[in-house]
Structure 1
Amino acid sequence: MTAARPSTPFHSLDSYIALPRVEGVALSPDGERAILTVATLSSDRTRYERALWEVPANGGGAPRRLTRSAKGESGVAFTASGDALFVSSRPDAEADGEDDVAQLWLLPARGGEARPITRLSGGVSGVAATAVASDTVVIAADLLPGSDSLEDDAAALAERKKRKVKAILHESYPVRYWDHDLGPAESHLLAVELDGLADALPDRAEMPEGASDAGGDGAAADDDAAPTPYPAHLPRPRDLTPKPGRSADTAGQALTPDGRTLFAAVRLPRRGLARYELVSIDVASGERRTILGEEGVQYEFPTISRDGTRLAYLRVPTSTPAGPTDHELWVSDLDGGNSRRIAADWDRWPAEFLFSADGESLIVAADHDGRGPVFRAPLDGGLVVRLVDDRFAYANLSVDAASGDVIALRSSWQAAPHPVRIDARSGEVTELASPAAPPAPVGDMVEVETTAEDGACVRGWLLTPEGASAESPAPLLLWIHGGPLNSWNAWSWRWAPQLAVARGYAVLLPDPALSTGYGLDFIARGWNSWGQKPYTDLMAITDAVEQRPEIDETRTAAMGGSFGGYMANWVAGHTDRFRAIVSHASLWALDQFGGTTDNSAYWMSIFDAEGLDANSPHHAIDDIVTPMLVIHGDRDYRVPIGESLRLWSELNARHAEDDGSTVHRFLFFPDENHWVLKPQHAIVWYETVFAFLGQHVLGEEWARPANVG
């Protein structure tokens, strides 16, 4: 009798994409409740819809759904009075038209329906900052550079729409980011005062016939009339960054507790690599003053103590091809005086940080030895203390002002993100209620390590399928992370090794040179030489893992995306040890990539000409003998499609048969970016990868995946 095949969400791609996902958590000012942003698969299974759920912040209880709009909600923050703010393109019943742009909404703490707070023609990008003792809010929103008012902006946007104009005239660099073109609108920071906000009906008594209070299309009764006024019954956003250029593309911002001053890390216009400095902006007058700034240094992620007396920030000297620089934690008075570095001997890079409840330390999340713990960094120069000691990574931190406890999302490669509470004294972790509990993992996860040729310890995680043993060894999949300044320590819905484990593969997730969480010297080992120590580290830990009895060293493959794709290309040109290689969104010709990526100035700052040339995978095209699956999205501006187009062209020019046939494959997504995010595209991605691996690693017949034509 044949044993029943295991049935988990990881054994079925349809079931996997249907898993609900916790994407964010926000803590109420009183510390009593947390709001989760939860994404669920739409009824037609083609997109994810986001809703807000409330859970008790002390553990126990049950989740309660707060929102149910078809458009979904995200970007949750709280006002000082406990009302929840979020961004959504849900319909506004009081607005005319059907503009599909996101606005700021408020959900009262006392209950009742959510209400719109803004009606900006270009929409709202997100909540930039809130105050802990004032209901002043700062939002990010895009406005056209020629607009002098909200009404001007509405009229100009309406005119572009009417004439179907999409042209953009750039006067500075950059021109695009990640997956979208920048401009013509520019990001602004706008203050919105919610004090005394009361329900009111729009006053249409004085409006001319045919006019609208929509404030969204700028239309007037005739061509000679003035643009429609911004709705008077809504708080009028006040521009804190007029004519910003790209300076309001900030590296973080924070409001003082009284809401009177905004601190922001603003981008300075300059040739080459952008520099960020810290400025203070008076919310009432818009007056700006530089607090901290210097050549060759980035100031980022300002945060303010609850008593409003101290400022914490990240100070990052600009890296050069000679080596990486440290990410330094600093604190100062609000005017920048009495500045001092803390945790100077702590060789880790902060990912998130905020003041403790008593203001005497910073609560910090950082990569650390393949994990992402939470730490306490005292302001008095004391030693950094690790609050949690487990295999998880923590993100999305909030501090309860009353208890000092920390609310966060926690995950690992065996547990999807879920909300937890960390006791500030004992470090004990309590899981909070969630409508999207992590699914049970498949297989086992163990920590592995080896010693590199220069004596460095190289470690990683090894996931193995159930039943893998000396009698039944599993094929090995080397999965290389992106970044490269990254670590395999936290769950990713996009990169899901559990899916491969469910199909019988052992998956190796190593952290080679350039990985974060092991100190600056470990990063420096691969600096300006990506094809050297990172490559030999990967081969060394693969050698070590292949010695394990549960691994079949004769059936192996390598894969990766972004930097992992670069590394997959490098591996393909420098060894024939693998049966198959998957290269997603990969860098192929570094000289070409440097001038076409969305931030070429950064790229040029970390490599010199010799490093670019010596570490470009395209030089080894003639040495590739392993079948490759090349994957790319056309909306990828971080690693433009030209990289994979050139790789595919050169693979065919050098290695195709005379009749044009080839063992290689190219999977192309015209409407995806650096990642493949649409649910059905994710299915196609994994089906194609597993079919390719099945053919070359497992010896199965090639089966063309469904829905690719």
Structure 2
Amino acid sequence: MTSPDTSSPAASPTSSAAPAPASAPTPFHDLSAFVALPRVSGLTLSPDGTRLVTTVATLNGKGTGYATALWELDPAGERPAHRLTRSREGESGAAFAADGTLYFTSTRPDPSVDDADKAAALWALPARGGEARVVLNRPGGVSAVTCAAHADRVVVTAERLIGASTEAEHARLVQARKDAGVDAILHAGYPVRFWDHDLGPARPELFLLEDGPDPQGVPESDASDDGAAPADDAAHHLRHLTGVDRSHAFGLGAEVAPDGSFLLTVVATAEARGNVREGRVVRIELPTGEHRVLHDVPGEDAHVGPVSHDGTRAILTRTPDSTPDSAVAPQLFLLDTATGETTPLAHGWDRWADVVGWLPDDSAVIALADSDGRRPVFRIDVATGEVTQVTHADEAWSDVVLSPDVTTAYGVRSSYLFPPEVARLDLVTGEAERLRNPAERPEIPGRLEDVEATADDGARVRGWLALPEGAAPDGGHPLLLWIHGGPLGSWNAWSWRWTPWIAVAQGYAVLMPDPALSTGYGQEFVQRGWGRWGAEPFTDLMAITDAVEARADIDATRTAAMGGSFGGYMANWVAGHTDRFRAIVTHASLWALDGFGPTTDAAFYWAREMSPEMQEANSPHRFVGDIVTPMLVIHGDKDYRVPIGEGLRLWSELLAKSGLPAAEDGSTVHRFLYFPQENHWILAPQHAKVWYEVVLGFLAQHVRGEDAPAVPDVLGLGRPTAG
């Protein structure tokens, strides 16, 4: 559910994009060209503000995955971007140290070690250039690195087996499991998995990177005859920091004080009946490893944000546990890093903010928040709580980093007219300039409009409408209603997985609305749909669909509905409550809520969202007999958020109980696209192509009335019968 160049200025999504010539198709007309587009993500800035590094993912030679590389951009926007790293395995997680060293993680082979295990090692590029070198290589790998801005302190996040108290014991246990060929996990707590991976028997831990050999020794298998560590491994070791009681669930972040004296982290605690709470804020002194709890309030989750430059305050987001009657409602606080006292910050502002940094004089913080189908940059004065919106373009910002010059920030921005790109932002004027990025913007085969409608209860419901370029054909464009996941989210940023332009290139108009439960419209808009998934979210979707279908350029007789995760739930609900659509596509969807609750990876959270009575009232499976619309069901077997059992039960009941059941010979108009190795998202590029090909073929048949399409050859089925 809860549930991703030149220096030309950004186009506004509310205006038409430059039309592509009819004789020159865009990458969205060709799925092979689309999956090969470079993908920019993440950003890190050197402490002196002179170097800016991002990550670019490109298609591998076989077309079966993406390899990432680090690229440096000129913060001034004058020099072209240039590539820093190059390997088949790729690099990620870049972070600058105070001395300008660029740390990153990679599974590329260590040239100094023969037959090294395929685990992510910690690498470093010197500030003055040169070859990257391995800083640390350990069994189980390294997950992330965080550096102090103004001190020689490097914090490493890595998984350690729960039964190990030293790195030597960890290495011995890892080898024992490997030698025995055992991957079984004996659990003593909840949860047991998260999104797409199993939890345990290792858990994330925080370490400080230190020079010299590990004083706690090395495993005998790695020692020389005299018991000393091998020379190549003696340069650095990890000193364990997180010696605090906590649940094995969830990861660990590290907010390091600029002077490197301490860090703040949030640990999860397990409570009765499998309830897990991310709520204990712990301060760890980096020189000594001493730790103490700064904040721990039962009945709430807490997340700690950046530490001020003077080290006295940090941002704290406190979220009281939701209940079936009360929606999630996060609020900002200032946390005193010495006493743990909290002070409300901007509580009169009705948005959910993520604070990304402090201005150099600590007078204000910079934050991002969903707002009206965008994700602008905001400035919050810490003394008064006054909020000022900095950016006003139709964009969504992420990965914002602040320059030491007070007035400049850099970030990754996107809209539905361009994928993520790195831009420079003037924090005073709000003007943004695209830097010289590693990749060009792809041409968009259409235009985007802001649309809205009024719901039955008078609420405003808005969304984006993507349209093909040029005049509409006689009768109008066929329409696809796309329903976002979450449900606590918004259609406000580019998505590689749900890209409307592929459908637009085929002549469809795509409606992307934000119904009740969507973020960026205030707390009351979320509360409207809380525990009422089948009520206001559904009627909001129908209201805005009615409004768009009334347009002269839309063909109201040729429409379909689609969604993934919560959007898949809504697609199932739509299928059982109206016959207005010619086809329904439901991806990774919730079907029978009583079964979903105990099997999702976070059952404790689901129990806070709906009572058993709400689950019964809002469960789509109760209306299977009313489904008379052809449905395409899509699910990945490795999906732990919405387990495969939801898709299997939906498919079984659709064929046996729907208003369009399978015939006696087993033929059916419905289809089930199953991915044995994919999870909640279809990530492999070859599978993404299959996803789009099957979806577009299904829509062409049922929305446009074309012949049953030949399925992709790689599925090995040829042309199926129409059912």
Aligned equivalent of 1:681: 687
Q: Distance in 2 between matches of 1:248 and 1:684?
A: 34
Aligned equivalent of 2:675: 669
Give the alignment of 1:22-101 within 5 angstroms. 22-101=40-119
Give the alignment of 1:332-351 within 5 angstroms. 332-337=335-340, 339-351=342-354
Does residue 141 of the first structure (1) align with residue 158 of the second (2)? yes
State the SS of the aligned residue for 1:707. Answer: helix
Does structure 1 retain, via aligned residues, the 8 Å contact 2:355–2:365? no
Change in CA separation of 1:216 and 1:614 when aligned onto 2, cut-off 3 Å:
farther
Does structure 1 retain, via aligned residues, the 8 Å contact 2:169–2:219? no
User: TM-score scaled to structure 1, two decimals?
Assistant: 0.94
State the SS of the aligned residue for 2:674. Answer: strand
Does structure 2 retain, via aligned residues, the 8 Å contact 1:132–1:306? no
State the SS of the aligned residue for 1:237. Answer: strand
State the SS of the aligned residue for 2:715. Answer: coil
Residue 160 of structure 1: which of 177, 200, 214 is its match? 177
Does structure 2 retain, via aligned residues, the 8 Å contact 1:152–1:227? no
State the SS of the aligned residue for 1:591. Answer: helix
Does residue 495 of the first structure (1) align with residue 498 of the second (2)? yes
Residue 471 of structure 1: which of 466, 470, 474 is its match? 474
Change in CA separation of 1:649 and 1:227 when aligned onto 2, cut-off 3 Å:
farther
Residue 698 of structure 2: which of 675, 682, 692 is its match? 692
Residue 638 of structure 1: which of 633, 641, 647 is its match? 641
Q: Identity over the aligned pairs, expressed in percent? A: 51
Q: Distance in 1 between matches of 2:574 and 2:712?
A: 26
Q: Distance in 1 between matches of 2:199 and 2:249?
A: 13
Give the alignment of 1:499-514 within 5 angstroms. 499-514=502-517
Aligned equivalent of 2:266: 265
Does residue 174 of the first structure (1) align with residue 191 of the second (2)? yes
State the SS of the aligned residue for 1:613. Answer: helix
State the shift of 1:226 in Å. 7.6
Q: Which deviates more, 250-259 or 339-348?
A: 250-259
State the SS of the aligned residue for 2:427. Answer: coil
State the shift of 1:263 in Å. 0.5
Kindly provide the amino acid, as one letter, of the partner of residue 61 in structure 1: R
Does structure 1 retain, via aligned residues, the 8 Å contact 2:206–2:252? no
Give the alignment of 1:229-268 within 5 angstroms. 232-242=233-243, 246=247, 249-250=250-251, 252-268=253-269
State the shift of 1:468 in Å. 4.1
Aligned equivalent of 1:208: none
State the shift of 1:253 in Å. 2.5
Q: Distance in 2 between matches of 1:227 and 1:512?
A: 63
Q: Which deviates more, 364-373 or 151-160?
A: 151-160
Q: Distance in 2 between matches of 1:353 and 1:580?
A: 42
Change in CA separation of 1:432 and 1:24 when aligned onto 2, cut-off 3 Å:
same
Q: Distance in 2 between matches of 1:346 and 1:604?
A: 28
Does structure 1 retain, via aligned residues, the 8 Å contact 2:359–2:406? no
Change in CA separation of 1:243 and 1:331 when aligned onto 2, cut-off 3 Å:
closer
Does structure 2 retain, via aligned residues, the 8 Å contact 1:151–1:218? no
Give the alignment of 1:502-541 within 5 angstroms. 502-541=505-544
State the shift of 1:151 in Å. 1.5
State the shift of 1:4 in Å. 5.3
Q: Distance in 2 between matches of 1:227 and 1:567?
A: 61
Aligned equivalent of 2:14: none
State the shift of 1:231 in Å. 5.5
Change in CA separation of 1:402 and 1:217 when aligned onto 2, cut-off 3 Å:
farther
Does structure 2 retain, via aligned residues, the 8 Å contact 1:368–1:517? yes
User: TM-score scaled to structure 2, two decimals?
Assistant: 0.92
Q: Distance in 2 between matches of 1:419 and 1:661?
A: 50
State the SS of the aligned residue for 1:602. Answer: helix
Does structure 1 retain, via aligned residues, the 8 Å contact 2:203–2:248? no
Alpha-carbon deviations, 1:38-58, whole Å to 9, x = none? 000011111101001111112
Alpha-carbon deviations, 1:582-612, whole Å to 9, x = none? 0000000001000111110000111111111
Does structure 1 retain, via aligned residues, the 8 Å contact 2:376–2:396? yes
Kindly provide the amino acid, as one letter, of the partner of residue 265 in structure 1: V
Change in CA separation of 1:250 and 1:378 when aligned onto 2, cut-off 3 Å:
farther
Alpha-carbon deviations, 1:598-634, whole Å to 9, x = none? 1100001111111111000000010000000000000
Change in CA separation of 1:244 and 1:139 when aligned onto 2, cut-off 3 Å:
farther
Give the alignment of 1:308-347 within 5 angstroms. 308-337=311-340, 339-347=342-350
Q: Distance in 2 between matches of 1:40 and 1:325?
A: 37
Structure 1 gaps, min length 5: 204-212
Alpha-carbon deviations, 1:395-445, whole Å to 9, x = none? 001000123311100001111000011101111101111112221211110
Q: Distance in 2 between matches of 1:339 and 1:420?
A: 34
Change in CA separation of 1:62 and 1:472 when aligned onto 2, cut-off 3 Å:
farther
Residue 585 of structure 1: which of 572, 583, 588 is its match? 588
Q: Distance in 2 between matches of 1:391 and 1:614?
A: 38
Q: Distance in 2 between matches of 1:308 and 1:248?
A: 29
State the shift of 1:265 in Å. 1.2
Give the alignment of 1:275-674 within 5 angstroms. 275-337=278-340, 339-469=342-472, 471=474, 473-654=476-657, 655-674=661-680
Q: Distance in 1 between matches of 2:118 and 2:39?
A: 24
Does structure 2 retain, via aligned residues, the 8 Å contact 1:47–1:679? yes
Q: Distance in 2 between matches of 1:544 and 1:694?
A: 24
Q: Once superposed, what is the RMSD of the aligned Cα atoms?
A: 2.1
Does structure 1 retain, via aligned residues, the 8 Å contact 2:312–2:338? no
Alpha-carbon deviations, 1:680-709, whole Å to 9, x = none? 000000000000000000111112222111
Does structure 2 retain, via aligned residues, the 8 Å contact 1:470–1:549? no
Does structure 1 retain, via aligned residues, the 8 Å contact 2:410–2:425? yes
Q: Distance in 2 between matches of 1:4 and 1:137?
A: 53
Does residue 187 of the first structure (1) align with residue 204 of the second (2)? yes
Tell me: higher relative CO, structure 1 or 2? Use CA pairs within 8 A at least 6 residues apart: 2
Kindly provide the amino acid, as one letter, of the partner of residue 694 in structure 1: A
State the shift of 1:216 in Å. 9.4
Does structure 2 retain, via aligned residues, the 8 Å contact 1:34–1:55? yes
Aligned equivalent of 2:134: 116
Q: Distance in 2 between matches of 1:230 and 1:657?
A: 71
Alpha-carbon deviations, 1:248-268, whole Å to 9, x = none? 834632111221211111111
Alpha-carbon deviations, 1:178-236, whole Å to 9, x = none? 11111111111111147xx9xxxx99xxxxxxxxx9x79956799xx989779653221
State the shift of 1:33 in Å. 2.0
Change in CA separation of 1:517 and 1:230 when aligned onto 2, cut-off 3 Å:
farther
Aligned equivalent of 2:714: 707
Q: Distance in 2 between matches of 1:528 and 1:538?
A: 17
Does residue 125 of the first structure (1) align with residue 131 of the second (2)? no
Does structure 2 retain, via aligned residues, the 8 Å contact 1:621–1:651? yes
Q: Distance in 1 between matches of 2:514 and 2:553?
A: 21
Kindly provide the amino acid, as one letter, of the partner of residue 63 in structure 1: A
Q: Distance in 1 between matches of 2:383 and 2:613?
A: 44
Aligned equivalent of 2:10: none
Q: Which deviates more, 246-255 or 672-681?
A: 246-255
State the SS of the aligned residue for 1:124. Answer: coil
State the SS of the aligned residue for 2:529. Answer: coil
Does structure 2 retain, via aligned residues, the 8 Å contact 1:265–1:302? no
Change in CA separation of 1:611 and 1:227 when aligned onto 2, cut-off 3 Å:
farther
Q: Distance in 1 between matches of 2:477 and 2:339?
A: 57
Alpha-carbon deviations, 1:663-693, whole Å to 9, x = none? 0000000000100000000000000000000
State the SS of the aligned residue for 2:70. Answer: strand
Q: Distance in 1 between matches of 2:378 and 2:452?
A: 24
Q: Distance in 2 between matches of 1:435 and 1:32?
A: 18
